[in-house]
Amino acid sequence: MQTPLQITIRDVEHSEALETRIRDKAQKLEEFFKHIMSCRVVVEAPHKHHHQGKQFNVRIDIGVPGNEIVVNRDHHEDVYVALRDAFDAAKRQLEDYARKTRGDVKTHEPKRSEERNDSVLE
């Protein structure tokens, strides 16, 4: 990664274990795509759903050459499950992006135009 990982934790009790999990997950993303330029992770507990228990939102912004991959996973009651789901989605998007940049994307053959009869009717 060209710029250091940025981690923001809002309205969630900060723990070293949570930060370590985020760093480990971000490091694993580089195994799937080596050209990650930046990665920002925001973990927060919005105050919207008081009756359902604490809900977590995880947003991951990944800067790659010529693009930015954004993953936003809302409302899971376990912050570690929310992290797992968000990073799994980020991995899938990175793999898709890597395939496209390598040119491994399937393309459909162009439809053949119907044979034309170029003879002139007299």
The three-state secondary structure class of 119 is coil
For 98, phi then psi, to 5°, come to -65, -40
Distance CA 60, CA 13 (A): 19
> What stretches of the chain show up as alpha helix (H) in DSSP?
16-32, 79-102
* Fold (topology level) of 6-101: Double Stranded RNA Binding Domain (3.30.160)
Distance CA 22, CA 25 (A): 5
Q: Structural domain boundaries of the chain? A: 6-101
> Could you tell me if 43 and 9 are in contact, meaning their C-beta atoms sit under 8 angstroms apart?
yes
Tell me, what's the pLDDT at 111? Answer: 61
pLDDT digits (tens, 9 = 90+) for 74-89: 777 888 999 999 999 9
The yes-or-no verdict on residue 114 having pLDDT over 60 is no
